[in-house]
Amino acid sequence: MKDNNLILQLFMATAFLAGCDSKVDQENDGEKTKNQMEISQEDIDRLGITNPDSLSAASKRALEWPEVGNEWFIEFSELQPLKGDLAYEEGVVRRDPSALLKHNGKYYVWYSKSTGPTQGFGGDIENDKVFPWDRCDIWYATSEDGWTWEEQGVAVARGEKGEYDDRSVFTTEIMEHEGTYYLCYQTVKSPYNVRVKNQVGLAWSNSPDGPWTKSEEPILSPADNGIWKGEEQNRFTVEKKGDFDSHKVHDPCIIPYQGKFYLYYKGEQMGEEITFGGRQIRHGVAVADNPKGPYKKSAYNPISNSGHEICVWKHNGGIASLITTDGPEKNTIQWAPDGINFGIKSVIKGAPHAIGLNRSLNTDDKEDPTSILRWGLSHIYNNSDYQSIMRFSSRRRTVHVAKGENAKNN
């Protein structure tokens, strides 16, 4: 009797396991069928997939790509030197041009300006110049043709000793709204050591020629949730890294958008790492009801995985962004229908550094989302000490053909 019960138990266990195996096989077959149904013959042909039953990780990623065309693809030409006062000048740093505005028939641009070579962090921090953008003031220049420029003087100077901007004001951006002009920019307070936390300041005027009124306090500051390790001036040594912008907020740009003001900026994190062959740089946004603030950082920050200088413009009800230099998504143009959730639209090469967009070209042409990039200003490293402002240009490139082929719209 016991033997019969044992045989019955073994039989039931075997049947149960067989049933489980059968269920797993059915689920796998169902998943397999599901995958096959999701892959159309058009996808197989378009992506050159050999066998839809055996998909590599690369093929799976390709199948998840959004359907985008080439309307966002452009090529940049070599930078061209400017004439007049913005031509290269030995001993002078001119860099990080703002966007260009056109007023009374003239182009206006604002930029960082300093003099003398860079000593770095190895000497007298209190008196040396540690970066080319150290000990800068914000200057401006005008031009009738965008090539020959006349320097007009200081727009915004460094603050008095003890103020939050007493060491340097630099990397500025311009916005005009309802007849008032707003300059946002980076600030540094002395002493300029490697752990110093940059902030963002603001100045405004009723004329692009000034005079400018500066904000008494920064309009944006780094997150205050990282912890340095030890007292040594080492920006890579931390106990806690904090938010993506726990060290610095850089490259500010304010855009009027959806009835509010969106301040886009670059964040640098305490204990910054090197990823994908570049620095761990990401972008964020802060929003205000008034151009002067207060600005509240978005809960969705960071809004990019990569990037360096901020280069953003309006397009088709959303915001476009040129992402360069650092991170896994560098060298792309991205677009967000809501100004926050960005997706890749094209991969580009040779984008200039620190682009100053020509805002007069931002016609919101739905047929050409890159029209604002046809020409503008940038900067170039003439050597390790000095930089000068240059002019960039680009063209659309929607097809790729061999020499001699008919290339319509190329």
Which residue type, as a one-letter code, is found at position 241? K
**Residue 78 forms part of a structural domain:** yes
Where does residue 155 fall: left (phi above 0), alpha (psi -120 to 50 degrees), or beta otherwise? alpha
Per DSSP, the three-state class of 45 is: helix
410 within a domain of the structure (yes/no): no
Mean local confidence (pLDDT), 218-242: 96
Q: Give the mean model confidence (pLDDT) for residues 366-394.
A: 95
Residue 112 neighbours by CB under 8 Å, 6+ apart? 93, 94, 95, 96, 133, 136, 137, 138, 139, 169, 170, 171, 172
pLDDT in tens, 151-178: 999 999 999 999 999 999 999 999 999 9
pLDDT at 362: 75
Domain boundary among 12, 39, 64: 64
Question: Same structural domain for residues 165 and 286?
Answer: yes
Residue 397 has a pLDDT of 83
pLDDT at 410: 54
Assess if residue 403 is contained within a domain: no
Mean pLDDT of 62-84: 91
Q: Which helix (H) or strand (E) holds 268?
A: strand 260-268
Task: Kindly tell me if the per-residue pLDDT of 332 is higher than 50.
Answer: yes
Is residue 169 assigned to a domain? yes
Predicted local distance difference test score (pLDDT) of residue 407: 56
Range of the domain at 118: 74-396
Q: What is the pLDDT of residue 406?
A: 67
On the question of pLDDT at 33 being above 90, the answer is no
Phi, psi of 200 (to 5 degrees): -120, 130
Running DSSP on this structure, what letter comes out for residue 77? P
Identify the CATH number of the domain in which residue 174 sits: 2.115.10.20
At 404 the pLDDT is: 81
Asked if the structure places residue 286 within a domain, the reply is yes
Position 340 pLDDT exceeds 70 = yes
**What is the number of other CB atoms lying within 10 angstroms of the CB of residue 59?**
19
Q: pLDDT band for position 2 (50/70/90)?
A: very low
CA distance 359 to 373: 9
Residue 47: the pLDDT is 92
Same domain, 58 and 104: no
Domain boundary among 64, 93, 108: 64
SS3 178: coil
Task: Tell me if 278 is assigned to some domain.
Answer: yes
Least confident range from 120-129, 135-144, 398-407: namely: 398-407
